[in-house]
Structure 1
Amino acid sequence: MVRGEASILIDTEASRVFDFVATDFVNNYKRWSPEVQRLDLLTPGPLRVGSRARQIRVDQGRKSDTTFKIIALETPSRVGFVEQNGQYRTEYHVEPAGEGSRLRFYFELKRLDLYMRPFEKLIRVAIQDGAERVVRNIKGLIETETPRSSTGPS
């Protein structure tokens, strides 16, 4: 198993971060993960445990077509996905942190094919870099789009 994880502080309330990542996943996923060329929700209605989606990605020149399902949706703190064949699992955790929130992202590649094992170290680095990029992208999008509230006197 190869795992990457990253955490970042975001200058907005946790409910806004959760809504951006989970509630509005279909609209926002391609924005924070530009490797996603196409995303199709296969289950009608709002995102919920058991919902399925198909994505086409191009990562470092390699195209992949996978189907995944939602395995956890705990408003307002956690959403998790697993690839239908168990190749990978991702989770986003959101928690209050002072006046803002902390976003934690986890990605697990469950197994490496035999021919990929000589490249395990490079794959680990790429997965970790990808995890850090995901949280930075989400932070940038949210903080750019969310007006700061004024708490002091005018």
Structure 2
Amino acid sequence: MKSLSIAQHPAPVFTQTRTSTSVPVPLHKLIDQLMNSFVPLAATQHSFIINNVDESFQLNADEQILAFIVGNLLNNAIVSSHNACVRIEAVKKPQGVQIIVRNNGTNFYSTVAHGFSQVVAAARTMGANINIYNQKHEGTVITLSMAA
């Protein structure tokens, strides 16, 4: 069993070209849009994506930064798997919101070292952190946690 908490390690600064603006983001719709762009990639990996986010789920965030982060999490979950189900869900907890990307395929861990620091830096600009948990032959759970 491996657990890796990205929030504890320093990362390069995520460079933004505009001022961050938090607005209500319909998360289910955003994920549907991202999923549409990843369907061809998932097909080449013989995998599929399921959006389990409630259609009424709203999240106050910068939509472009959130799309960058979630898009990268989905992309990494798809590319690191073969014949897998990639499932995304969101839950509200007392301490904040969690967006969870699950993958029942092979380990995600090897892709973390290559270019993932920009995703972590982007998450930090939103006051969020990313935790990755994986277990051989059982898949990976990637959690983006942020204040509500």
TM range (shorter): 0.3 to 0.5
User: Greater share of strand residues, 1 or 2?
Assistant: 1
Q: Which has the larger radius of gyration?
A: 1
